[in-house]
Structure 1
């Protein structure tokens, strides 16, 4: 239990382990958003899921014996980037998963998980890391070729049946990468990462969108399955994962974390394919492998 509530921010190994835990939990995010949306509606589910996540973060802060007011005492720039990189990002991603046709869920997932590629590109610009251009360019091209493979060459020039969820997923991955890179550049302490604050904003926005969409008025009874996805999604991918990720990217072994993060597209795609069979197109798994390989290659372009 001690690992859940206390991670020594000066211990690089424990910070790295925290990030690995977040990666494993994030492999389930697409399944959570999709399953919850089908049971409760995308925005109602997100409201309940992020509300549970906020409670989890508050409990983490309490058991670590940190002042609860630190969750709200944030630098202005963290408030701004967190609004876009956490709150708005999560709303549009949940909407994308919840409104995409089942056969497009895998593509939504892969577009979102281009964020490791975005992180490498943004790190070269914002953190001023030395990079080797050829491996980075090759990795980026390989990553985007994974999207083309997942989409299918025959359908590449044809307008998708539901373009909005795909566009939102692509935008979301970019916003999350910006948030991660800027946190590291500014060396923001994990207690000022703003997870609870920004997910509170996320829950409020999701609740408002749910009202506009009529989801609250048509809410079905909340059964055991829906309750499971609310609790699992809130405690895991929201509550623990974001908290652990912020610790990892600021204090851990970032090259190792980045390398492992590249395999999220494969793990999450496998889970989606198992639970949502119609999403399993012939190019989906090969596309996820190409994205992971491209992100890894781009990550290798950063000079030691």
Structure 2
């Protein structure tokens, strides 16, 4: 693996590390409804991108000129995933919906075989399966029911398909600069706010801590992370990123444990071994490049 590809892969993993902070920052925003919180967070990401363009003396409108396919894919990925996720949570048990949605890293690894120049090896698949097994332990420890089939389960599956499809197809637009994500975040913020007005009652953050948590979401897991993921999926090893994505639920749980909001159990310890081992297995080519003969 080339140095540039390894670097891009590590940048993509940076997004996974930021997603690990999602639960902690979301809990700190208080009673702000999810769609409103999504709109506010993506708005933060767009405003920051807009500020950078202006500071560079660039015309923001020119920074929004990208192929229609890139716009459709970007907005469908960012907004579509979050919209379907909220539908899933409203119509299926949270644990069940989360477990189905966590199929997206495994699907990324499998779909990567369709990309030109990519070769899916046994250790990529085994690493992703190991990571999924670890995610199952973490999520299902709260109790899985799957009592009755509902629209929520289909929405959760749509989440997995949308995000995995977006991540893999994003390689087709590798010539589109990563700051295009700023525009995608702006449109996603608008669409999320429209849905919020239709489905939720507005509740503004209460106090400086909650406002700072919203800002942190926009800078990190619901905003800034998507810029890192865009670069990683366009220029890095998509198979490694897919397997490593299962670090997000593990690290999220560890962060909550360190923050005193969850307890460390043997299930988390086993999940740690499965997910970390799977990620290392999938990345073995990157960690130990083949010697030139």
TM-score range, shorter chain: 0.7 to 0.9
Q: More helix by proportion, 1 or 2? A: 1
Change (3 A) 1:252 1:65: farther
Change (3 A) 1:161 1:46: farther
Q: CA–CA distance in 1 between the matches of 2:190 and 2:167?
A: 23
1:57 aligns with 2:53: no
1:19 aligns with 2:12: yes
Q: CA–CA distance in 2 between the matches of 1:66 and 1:296?
A: 41
Q: Which residue of 2 aligns with 1:225?
A: 209
Residue ranges of structure 2 left out of the alignment (5+ in a row): none
Q: CA–CA distance in 1 between the matches of 2:142 and 2:252?
A: 25
1:142 aligns with 2:141: no
> Is residue 54–residue 200 contact of structure 1 (8 Å, CA) maintained in 2?
yes
> Is residue 109–residue 265 contact of structure 1 (8 Å, CA) maintained in 2?
no
Q: CA–CA distance in 1 between the matches of 2:265 and 2:98?
A: 13
1:263 aligns with 2:252: no
Aligned-partner SS, 1:39: coil
Q: Which residue of 1 aligns with 2:107?
A: 118
| TM-score scaled by length of structure 2 | 0.75
From 171, 180, 184, the equivalent of 1:184 is: 171
1:249 aligns with 2:233: yes
Q: Which residue of 2 aligns with 1:6?
A: none
How many aligned residue pairs are there?
286
Following superposition, the deviation at residue 55 of structure 1 comes to 0.5
- Report matched runs for 1:276-291 at 5 Å: 277=261, 283-284=267-268, 286-287=270-271, 289-291=273-275
Following superposition, the deviation at residue 62 of structure 1 comes to 3.4
Following superposition, the deviation at residue 165 of structure 1 comes to 6.8
Q: State the superposition RMSD in angstroms.
A: 4.1
Following superposition, the deviation at residue 74 of structure 1 comes to 1.9
Residue ranges of structure 1 left out of the alignment (5+ in a row): 1-9
Change (3 A) 1:83 1:294: same
> Is residue 120–residue 299 contact of structure 1 (8 Å, CA) maintained in 2?
no
